[in-house]
A and B are shown apart, each in its own frame.
Chain A
Amino acid sequence: MHSKTTDEAFAKRFDGRFSDGTTAGSQRVDVRLSKQGLLIYNNGDKDPTLWPYEKLAVAEPLRKNSIDALVTCSGYAGSTLFVPGGVFARMLGEYAPQLTTGAERWRNARPWLLTALAASVIVGFIYVADISPARHVAMLIPDKMRDSLGKHSLQSMVGKRGVCVAKEGREALDRLVSRLSLASGTDTNFKVTVADWGLLNAFATPGEYIVVTRKLITTADSPDELAGVLAHEMGHGISLHPETGLVRVVGLSATFELLVGGGGGTLANLGILLAQLSYTRGAEIEADEHALRILKAAKISPTGLAKFFKRVSGAGSGSDKGKSGKENDKKKKEAQGSWTQGLDILRTHPAPSDRLERVMRQAVYPATPALNAEDWAALKKICSKTEDGAGLSNSGEKSMNQTQKRRYEPNGSDEKWTDHTK
């Protein structure tokens, strides 16, 4: 038994146009809704054609404000039925709800919503479990390619600036780098370049290249501070953080470029990318741990690193009681300046206070200065002579330390070097 409303709906006749899909001609038909489907009466035929609801499709999904409906039926290839008027469209939507906008949108979006949900769960799991797919990809990069990446990064980062090459300073830096490299216990050949750059920062690039800026050297108070920073960057290199970061950023950027029709610009600016790259907190802690281990093995005090972090992060810059307002203002300004300078390095090396504490907690051990006073003074002046950095990617190790295989052998207060490359 049908309700009165249903009976009224089934009794209603609609004017429509029917096309059989073989020609562009069409004919007028009467259309009625029935329990099973649409009944199409052609030229007053007594036996109508039945189009079952479940086999229907519409050109445009049915909405409450539809003004007409163009219907096709899967058993009648090419045939179309056009019925003007919103009443028919609304009634058809009631009997064939699969033809409504809501139903079609849900059908289309559901698989992808579920896919997105699954992807989010997987990404969430990877994040929580601290799994880094990018790092695994980075580990697969051959050494030759890492080196090539490093040279290319170096070129784009330092190429347009000068490279600091004052002889005595360079030799002093080589001695420090060798001491730290050997202490790293990894047989890794670290290559350090000093860039004539007024930015306070240091970068590790793929292939164990490290860039230290002029400002960092001039800002450092002691060779231990610089040693701490270098050991930290070496830590990044040992853990392949630059390679991991590049894989992550290049992967995302390249995908974006592909989507917008770019042509490899990302990879042509590796150095810029590296300079913008911010390591995760976990990566920073890992690099710190390497740094502390290297410093200990090299018998260099970790307080330099702590002091450097403390200074660039502006920690402890509160006003001193008992000092005049002017003095306090001056100190505040200095602290602000220090903070502004520190921003450069903090942006790429986030250093929250717990990292600082970890370094401070390091047990005391016998240590000697990272460099003697004479070497430190020479290193401070390393940028008194600069060279064009344009050829860095070709020469690869232009203006870098070439003393990697020399072993540091502390002997009392004097430092002796034994060349093991021969």
Chain B
Amino acid sequence: MTGAVPASSAYLQSENSSLGEPVVLSWMRPLGLIGLSFWNFLARVLTLGIYHFWGKTEVRKRLWSAIRINGEPLVYTGRGLELFLGFLIVFFLILLPLLLIPVAAIFYLGPESTATKVVQLLLYVVFFYLFGVAVYRAQRYRMSRTTWRGIRGQLVGNPWQYAWTSFWTGLLVPLTLGWILPWRAVKLQKFITNDTRIGNRSFLFEGSSKPLYVRFAILWFSAILIYLAVMMSLGALMFPSLQEIQLLSERGAQVPTMTLVKILATVYGGLIIAFLLYSIASAWYRARMINHFASCTKFENLKFSGSLQARGLVYMAVTNFFIRLTGSLIFLVIGIILAFWAYGALSGMSPPDVDPLEWDKTVRGITVALATGTLLFAMAGFVLFAPVTEARNSGYLINRISIDGTAALAEIEQGAKQDIKLGEGLAEAFDIDAF
């Protein structure tokens, strides 16, 4: 059963049954996210970025609360301070040393020495390994801060074991030309799912990677075909321009700007088309993968299933991109208006005790500073509406996951409390956090 369910539905009136009761998963679209987006952005700017962790916490509270099980919301109990402290600890204990070690190696062993290169290679290995740890720890923190009817979620496994699996299977990705990816994805998902608990009951992942391989093979060959097609088309399209450049350079003449623009437009156009084609193909595979993961997941007598489709994922990706772009455009427009206004207002003035040339320089300086600020804000503005896009992604997913069967909810007891005091600093630092 899926779909938006009014909070006052009949099951809210129902009493518990030891025989089990149906479980309904639904999404209650959160309101006021645009206002929250602006507030978070403003607070981040005013607090020099520190509010980020509290802003993220509020977004999570909204998103968790939008996910309903039998009409009652999931609760996110994490705190901004936990995320902030987690980040600080990781920053000073892991990232700073990781930055300083190669610098020290450059100074003491020389930039070109083999020893420096070995040190750098080792650091890449450590970085790659820590990535797996970060993924697991972030998930563990989020689960430990998720409750439903006061019952906590948990991830009870060892992050280092997960990281090891992620590490060695990751090393095999290039060696197998990517063909290990479906098997790896299932293995890692199985790891996480089987470690997941709600109260004293565990989830179970049952399934193999076999059903994923047909779509993966099609994706793999499509990627090669797309690459070849784009390269050949680019070659054919650019051939006349390249010939022109060769002729001009033989004559020692300057290449017209338009020719260069044409070449650049062709290359970037080709790359964008290739990226879009690949994204569509990969969405087709990803939809299958998520649906497969859902169908392999069990909890008590409940079975999950997914009905995600490639076109839905592509639609979400494209519309989310434009929503995010709107954030950038807002700042761009404000900045341009401000820069023009400042230039117009200031250049009209002419303070009597200032040299006009110096004044002109100052006005230009202010305008350039405003334009630079605009550009920076426009770049940062791409994350302005992140709460909106995250909610859309979550809603899309939850609305396409169904649960069948019954569960004796009253028999699910509270699990042992895990002592996880800090947030997912490592994941935050690696920027791999989902929400």
Binding site for B on A (CB under 8 A): 15, 17, 19-28, 59-61, 63, 65, 67-68, 70, 72, 78-80, 82, 84-85, 104-105, 108-109, 112-113, 115-116, 119, 145, 148-149, 152, 155, 254, 257-264, 267-268, 352-353, 393-394
Rounded to whole angstroms, the CA-CA distance of A20 and B430 in the bound complex is: 38
Q: Which of A24, A60, A68 contacts B409 (CB 8 A)?
A: A24
B36-80 near A? 1/0 per residue, CB < 8 Å: 000100010011101100100010011011000001110110001
Binding site for A on B (CB under 8 A): 7-8, 12-13, 15-16, 28, 31-32, 39, 43, 46-48, 50-51, 54, 58, 61-62, 64-65, 71-73, 75-76, 80, 91, 95-96, 98-99, 102-103, 106-107, 110-112, 123-124, 127, 147-151, 198-199, 355, 357-358, 361, 409-414, 429-431
Please name the residue on chain A nearest to B6 by beta carbon.
A84
Q: Are B99 and A155 in contact (CB under 8 A)?
A: no
Q: Are A70 and B72 in contact (CB under 8 A)?
A: yes
Q: Which of B7, B28, B410 contacts A23 (CB 8 A)?
A: B410
Rounded to whole angstroms, the CA-CA distance of A152 and B112 in the bound complex is: 11
Rounded to whole angstroms, the CA-CA distance of A20 and B199 in the bound complex is: 13
Please name the residue on chain A nearest to B49 by beta carbon.
A259
Rounded to whole angstroms, the CA-CA distance of A394 and B31 in the bound complex is: 62
Given A24-B149, A72-B150, A78-B414, 7 more A-B residue pairs with CB atoms under 8 Å apart are A59-B64, A65-B31, A67-B31, A84-B7, A109-B46, A254-B99, A258-B96
Rounded to whole angstroms, the CA-CA distance of A262 and B96 in the bound complex is: 11
* Known contacts A63-B32, A148-B107, A263 near B98 by CB under 8 Å: yes
Please name the residue on chain B nearest to A63 by beta carbon.
B32
Rounded to whole angstroms, the CA-CA distance of A232 and B85 in the bound complex is: 47
Q: Are B413 and A23 in contact (CB under 8 A)?
A: yes
Rounded to whole angstroms, the CA-CA distance of A287 and B47 in the bound complex is: 36
Rounded to whole angstroms, the CA-CA distance of A149 and B76 in the bound complex is: 49
- Jot down 14 A-B pairs with beta carbons below 8 A, ordered by A: A17-B72, A23-B412, A59-B64, A67-B7, A68-B7, A70-B65, A80-B150, A82-B73, A84-B12, A108-B51, A108-B80, A109-B51, A261-B431, A263-B124
Please name the residue on chain B nearest to A155 by beta carbon.
B111
Which chain A residues border B355 with CB–CB below 8 Å?
353
Please name the residue on chain B nearest to A120 by beta carbon.
B48
Q: Are A353 and B358 in contact (CB under 8 A)?
A: yes
Residues of A contacting B: mostly: mixed
Distance (whole angstroms) from the CB of B94 to the closest CB of chain A: 10
Which chain B residues border A105 with CB–CB below 8 Å?
39, 43, 58
Which chain A residues border B106 with CB–CB below 8 Å?
152, 267-268
Q: Are A80 and B99 in contact (CB under 8 A)?
A: no
Rounded to whole angstroms, the CA-CA distance of A258 and B12 in the bound complex is: 48
Q: Are A268 and B58 in contact (CB under 8 A)?
A: no
Distance (whole angstroms) from the CB of B133 to the closest CB of chain A: 14
* Known contacts A84-B71, A105-B43, A109-B47, A20 near B102 by CB under 8 Å: no
Which chain B residues border A352 with CB–CB below 8 Å?
358, 361
Rounded to whole angstroms, the CA-CA distance of A183 and B96 in the bound complex is: 43
Rounded to whole angstroms, the CA-CA distance of A264 and B111 in the bound complex is: 12
Distance (whole angstroms) from the CB of B26 to the closest CB of chain A: 13
Q: Are B411 and A23 in contact (CB under 8 A)?
A: yes
Please name the residue on chain B nearest to A25 by beta carbon.
B410
Q: Are A260 and B431 in contact (CB under 8 A)?
A: yes
Rounded to whole angstroms, the CA-CA distance of A60 and B127 in the bound complex is: 36
Please name the residue on chain B nearest to A260 by beta carbon.
B431
Q: Are A108 and B54 in contact (CB under 8 A)?
A: yes
Q: Are B99 and A258 in contact (CB under 8 A)?
A: yes
Q: Are B32 and A65 in contact (CB under 8 A)?
A: yes
Which chain A residues border B64 with CB–CB below 8 Å?
59
CB-based closest 7 A-B pairs: A25-B410, A21-B150, A84-B7, A19-B149, A112-B47, A24-B412, A59-B75
Q: Are B72 and A116 in contact (CB under 8 A)?
A: no
Which chain A residues border B412 with CB–CB below 8 Å?
23-25
Distance (whole angstroms) from the CB of B309 to the closest CB of chain A: 29
Distance (whole angstroms) from the CB of A347 to the closest CB of chain B: 12
Q: Are A67 and B50 in contact (CB under 8 A)?
A: no
Distance (whole angstroms) from the CB of B382 to the closest CB of chain A: 14
Rounded to whole angstroms, the CA-CA distance of A352 and B360 in the bound complex is: 13
Rounded to whole angstroms, the CA-CA distance of A185 and B193 in the bound complex is: 72
Q: Which of B13, B15, B58, B429 contacts A261 (CB 8 A)?
A: B429
Distance (whole angstroms) from the CB of A25 to the closest CB of chain B: 3
Which chain A residues border B410 with CB–CB below 8 Å?
23-25
Distance (whole angstroms) from the CB of A256 to the closest CB of chain B: 11
Rounded to whole angstroms, the CA-CA distance of A105 and B110 in the bound complex is: 50
Distance (whole angstroms) from the CB of A395 to the closest CB of chain B: 12
Rounded to whole angstroms, the CA-CA distance of A149 and B111 in the bound complex is: 11
| A104, A108, A148: residue with the most chain B Cβ atoms closer than 10 Å | A108
Rounded to whole angstroms, the CA-CA distance of A352 and B362 in the bound complex is: 11
* Known contacts A67-B7, A263-B98, A263-B123, A119 near B48 by CB under 8 Å: yes
Rounded to whole angstroms, the CA-CA distance of A149 and B104 in the bound complex is: 11
Distance (whole angstroms) from the CB of A251 to the closest CB of chain B: 12
Q: Are B65 and A59 in contact (CB under 8 A)?
A: yes
Please name the residue on chain B nearest to A57 by beta carbon.
B77
Which chain B residues border A268 with CB–CB below 8 Å?
102, 106, 111
Please name the residue on chain A nearest to B69 by beta carbon.
A24
Which chain A residues border B13 with CB–CB below 8 Å?
15, 28
Q: Are B46 and A24 in contact (CB under 8 A)?
A: no
Which chain A residues border B15 with CB–CB below 8 Å?
27-28
Distance (whole angstroms) from the CB of B6 to the closest CB of chain A: 8
Q: Are A60 and B65 in contact (CB under 8 A)?
A: yes
Q: Are B150 and A78 in contact (CB under 8 A)?
A: yes
Q: Are A258 and B198 in contact (CB under 8 A)?
A: no
Which chain B residues border A19 with CB–CB below 8 Å?
149-151
Please name the residue on chain B nearest to A114 by beta carbon.
B47
Distance (whole angstroms) from the CB of A228 to the closest CB of chain B: 23
Which chain A residues border B73 with CB–CB below 8 Å?
59-60, 68, 70, 82
